[in-house]
Amino acid sequence: MKRIFFTPIFSLAIIAVSGQIQQEAVCDGDSITIELPAAISGSAIQWRSGADSLNFTDLAGETGMNLTVMPSATTFYYANISGDNCDPYSSDTIRVDVSAPPSIADAGDDITDSTNSVTLDGAAPTSGVGTWSILPGSGSNAAFSNVNDPQSTFTGDPNETYILAWTVQNPPCPPSIDTIVVNLGVASAPPLPSITCLNNTIYVHPTDNAGPTAWGCPGSGTAQSSSDVDGQANTSAIMTNCPNPNTTAAAVCANLTAFGFSDWYLPAFDELDCLRDNLSTLSGFSNGGYWSSTEFTGILALNAKMRTFPTGMSGASSKTSTHRIRCIRR
């Protein structure tokens, strides 16, 4: 029976000699323990080692039931056993191979590209085998031309963000891992405009994100999103407090991934006013109403706030009414 325990700093293998030849591997700098069966206890034992399976020398002082060694190259071990009126006999020979630790993984720099296909720039390992993988939480529909090539071609969907891992392995040593972020298709759409609003830099999606849409979240004050200046907090409150958050206008922005970012939100009432005040530098707005993420309180709590572009009515609108949506981020 074999039992092997590994930790990041020290690996220990315990091998019980049995009726078959065993071959083991250990990471360079780690130790391995060869353990004789308990039935041999009381016998005279002498451990021996050699660089091959034919030529052995005694290991001075190694006469116990266990032998712990730290080989630097492939080495063969066995025990000479005698006693209890038995002729001397030998345990099976055990070959221990030594693996070099894997090279330190280097996945290269983060990549932002206007296309949906890029060449990666990982470092080729001098020890071990490197493999690319896509980490959970990344975009979908992506592939590598060769997962083991550090300069593999990576192809994915435009306007998606991927987290890639370059993992170098040489068992039984612990792997080495490095990650990069790849943003694809970032420049394939119009440049992302920005304005200064309420002492923040606001980035504005260059096109409307939805046509006439109901605000959703029916009920009096259900969303608890009453800030006129913090659409980020409002959007979070809507997604937390509304019974069906993914049917709300705010969800259009909360679930949006675009230009390599997923922190979009529905602007608060005053942020929406900043957009209206900067129409000379922004584009793509239609004539008509746009929702804010601000819910009314008090006697108007069944309503949410909206503004009409380019100028005109602003104020309360029933949550069942439909207005356009433009997402922003800070």
Give residue-wise pLDDT tens across range 151-199: 999 999 888 889 899 999 999 999 999 999 898 876 544 568 899 999 9
Q: In whole numbers, what is the pLDDT of the chain averaged over residues?
A: 87
Give residue-wise pLDDT tens across range 7-48: 222 233 444 444 455 788 899 999 999 988 877 777 889 999
HSE-CB at 214 with a 13 A cutoff on CA atoms is 13
- Both tokens of 281, joined, read 């530098």
Type and span of the H or E element at 54: none
- Both tokens of 122, joined, read 């990982």
- Final residue belonging to a domain, choices 54, 69, 99: 99
Q: What is the pLDDT of residue 187?
A: 53
Q: What is the pLDDT of residue 139?
A: 74
**Residue from 129, 266, 133, 269 nearest 198 by CA:** 269
The count of other CB atoms within 10 Å of the CB of residue 292 is 29
Q: Are residues 70 and 130 located together in one domain of the fold?
A: no
Q: Are residues 84 and 132 located together in one domain of the fold?
A: no
**Residue from 200, 191, 194, 277 nearest 231 by CA:** 200
Q: Are residues 84 and 116 located together in one domain of the fold?
A: no
Q: Are residues 134 and 164 located together in one domain of the fold?
A: yes
Q: CA 118 → CA 142, 153, 162, 186, 312, distances in Å?
A: 11, 6, 12, 12, 47
Give residue-wise pLDDT tens across range 282-327: 988 999 999 999 999 999 999 999 999 998 789 899 999 999 999 9
The count of other CB atoms within 10 Å of the CB of residue 112 is 16
Q: Are residues 198 and 219 located together in one domain of the fold?
A: yes
Query: What total number of domains does the chain contain?
Result: 3
The count of other CB atoms within 10 Å of the CB of residue 60 is 8
For 50, the domain range is 2-99
Q: DSSP letter at 61? A: T
Q: Are residues 171 and 240 located together in one domain of the fold?
A: no
CATH number for the domain spanning 88: value is: 2.60.40.10
Residue with more model confidence, 3 or 6: 3
Report yes or no on 286 lying in a domain.
yes
Q: What is the pLDDT of residue 317?
A: 94
Q: Are residues 126 and 205 located together in one domain of the fold?
A: no
Report yes or no on 302 lying in a domain.
yes
Q: Are residues 298 and 216 located together in one domain of the fold?
A: yes
Q: Are residues 199 and 281 located together in one domain of the fold?
A: yes
